[in-house]
């Protein structure tokens, strides 16, 4: 609980813990005279039960009690409510115990017999120490909030610069303008159908947007070649998952699932894919999802020299390759997302050009 909230919740309230009713009555009288609302507890366990339901800034506790003694009670209180001030009450002969309690976190102690002035002085002193502790904690809370805010801003800037990298790639590749955005859209729709958790969804979103980033390292003459590729050219293009993975690995150390998408989106369910020839469930789920999304967009995207495939034909092709190229559950997830219209129906008749060409 935040300190400011704790301070707002609690009243001028005092918890008196002693197994002797007479001693509790004396303390109650003294504290009530100083304007405190008093709650009594006859044991440590009873005191903890009170604290579970009632915010209390200060606890006055006898040390010698059957069962849980004052020292144990203080440790239990500090473990759960570190900002509750505890004042331990001991007999004169137990000063060493009092000192040990102070070392262990009690904010002050009282020795019996005590007078009203002494009780008042000790309580005020303990409350003042507690106020300083609360201020210190509130300062730390504010600092943590500011650090977290800065970290979020830094993360957003970092993701924006990665997105710029992906955009730079699409300008370079004449046929893929908007490809990564659409792949991301389809991949996220599949992932939601498969019930992926939020942290995984976030990594999939980033990974699918950046999945082809390694094409930055592919020669433009090969990337933009309109005709069929030679074996050597195909091999060169298919280096892009590893190039992308090497490029991003130093930046995405804390996002291994996003990195897995980049490296493994050309793996195949039957183990005949690239670059690691992973098979079936060995392929990270997020990469299997992206493979389906990627292929669907490639099939339904027009080229300057041809129309894209119709959605129905592309889905039939995905279904035909489920169990060989694609994970069947990812294909099924994609079909469910498509039926639900989870994303805009692709306009396969549009022949895609680069933004530069359009301009």
212 binds Fe ion (CB under 5 A): yes
Please identify which residue in the block is written with the tokens 């592919």.
Answer: 218
> Is residue 297 within the footprint of Fe ion (CB under 5 A)?
no
Window contacting Fe ion (CB under 5 A); options: 63-71, 129-137, 211-219, 280-288:
211-219
Identity of the residue, 55 or 217, whose beta carbon is nearer to Fe ion in the bound complex: 217
Q: Minimum Å distance from CB 265 to Fe ion?
A: 6
Could you tell me if 208 and 290 are in contact, meaning their C-beta atoms sit under 8 angstroms apart? Answer: yes
Distances (CA, A) of 239 to 6, 212, 300, 339: 58, 10, 24, 35
Cβ distance to Fe ion smaller for residue 36 or 245: 245
Q: What is the C-alpha to C-alpha distance for residues 359 and 353, in angstroms, rounded to an integer?
A: 10
Shortest Å distance, C-beta 191 to Fe ion: 18
Stretch that binds Fe ion, among 69-77, 166-174, 204-212, 337-345 (CB under 5 A): 204-212
Q: Least separation, in Å, of the C-beta of 266 and Fe ion?
A: 6
> Which residue's beta carbon is nearest to the bound Fe ion?
212
Of the ranges 45-53, 145-153, 208-216, 336-344, which one interacts with Fe ion (CB under 5 A)? 208-216
Q: Which residues contact 307 (CB under 8 A, 6 or more apart)?
A: 348, 349, 351
Closer to Fe ion by Cβ: residue 7 or 238: 238
- Residue among 90 and 290 whose Cβ is closer to Fe ion: 290
Contact set for Fe ion, span 329-348 (CB under 5 A): none
Chain positions 29 to 58 lying near Fe ion, rule: CB under 5 A, are none
Shorter beta-carbon distance to Fe ion: residue 44 or 241:
241
The yes-or-no answer on residue 129 being catalytic is no
- How many other C-beta atoms lie within 10 A of the C-beta of residue 57? 22
Q: How far is the CB of 224 from Fe ion (least distance, A)?
A: 15
* Of 174, 164, 166, residue with least CA distance to 354: 174
What is each CA distance from 232 to 15, 172, 236, 266, in whole angstroms?
A: 81, 21, 6, 17
Q: Which residue number, 63 or 269, has a Cβ lying nearer to Fe ion?
A: 269
How many residues bind Fe ion (CB under 5 A)? The answer is 1
Q: Would you count residue 170 as binding Fe ion (CB under 5 A)? A: no
- Select which of 112, 153, 172, 215 is catalytic: 215
Scanning 25-33, 120-128, 149-157, 207-215 for contacts with Fe ion by CB under 5 A, the matching segment is: 207-215
- With respect to Fe ion, which residue has the nearer C-beta, 193 or 212? 212
For the CB of residue 289, give the shortest distance to Fe ion in the complex, in Å.
14
User: Is the alpha carbon torsion for 176, 178, 181, 185 positive or negative?
Assistant: negative
> What's the min distance (Å) between Cβ of 183 and Fe ion?
9
Cross-strand partners of 19: none
Instruction: State in angstroms the smallest separation of the CB of 234 from Fe ion.
Output: 12
For the chain, the first-to-last Cα distance in angstroms comes to 56
Q: Active-site residues: which are they?
A: 215
Q: Which residues bind Fe ion (CB under 5 A)?
A: 212
């Amino acid at each position: 609980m935040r300190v400011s909230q704790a301070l707002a919740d609690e009243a001028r309230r005092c918890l008196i813990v002693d197994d002797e009713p007479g001693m509790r009555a004396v303390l109650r009288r003294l504290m009530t005279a100083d304007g405190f609302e008093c709650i009594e507890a006859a044991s440590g366990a009873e005191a903890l039960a009170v604290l579970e339901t009632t915010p209390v800034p200060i606890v006055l506790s006898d040390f010698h009690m059957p069962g849980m003694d004052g020292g144990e009670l203080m440790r239990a209180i500090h473990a759960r409510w570190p900002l509750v001030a505890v004042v331990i009450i001991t007999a004169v002969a137990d000063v060493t115990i009092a000192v040990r309690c102070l070392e262990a976190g009690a904010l002050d102690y009282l020795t019996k017999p005590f007078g009203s002035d002494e009780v008042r002085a000790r309580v005020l002193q303990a409350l003042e120490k507690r106020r300083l502790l609360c201020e210190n904690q509130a300062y730390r809370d504010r600092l943590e909030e500011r650090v977290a805010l800065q970290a979020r801003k830094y993360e957003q800037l970092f993701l924006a610069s990665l997105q710029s990298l992906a955009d730079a790639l699409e300008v370079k590749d004449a046929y893929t303008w908007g490809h990564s955005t659409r792949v991301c859209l389809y991949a996220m729709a599949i992932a939601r159908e498969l019930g992926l958790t939020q942290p995984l969804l976030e990594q999939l979103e980033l990974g699918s947007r950046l999945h082809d980033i390694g094409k930055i390292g592919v020669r433009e003459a090969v990337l933009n070649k309109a005709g069929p590729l030679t074996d050597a050219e195909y091999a060169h293009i298919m280096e892009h998952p590893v190039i992308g993975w090497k490029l991003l690995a130093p930046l995405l150390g804390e996002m291994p699932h996003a990195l897995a998408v980049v490296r493994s989106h050309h793996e195949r369910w039957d183990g005949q894919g690239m670059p690691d020839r992973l098979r079936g469930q060995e392929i990270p789920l997020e990469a299997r999802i992206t493979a389906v999304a990627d292929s669907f967009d490639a099939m339904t995207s027009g080229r300057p020299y041809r129309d894209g495939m119709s959605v129905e034909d592309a889905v039939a092709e995905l279904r035909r390759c489920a169990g060989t190229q694609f994970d069947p559950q990812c294909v099924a997830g994609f079909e469910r997302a498509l039926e639900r219209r989870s994303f805009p129906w692709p306009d396969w008749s549009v022949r895609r050009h680069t933004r530069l060409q359009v301009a």
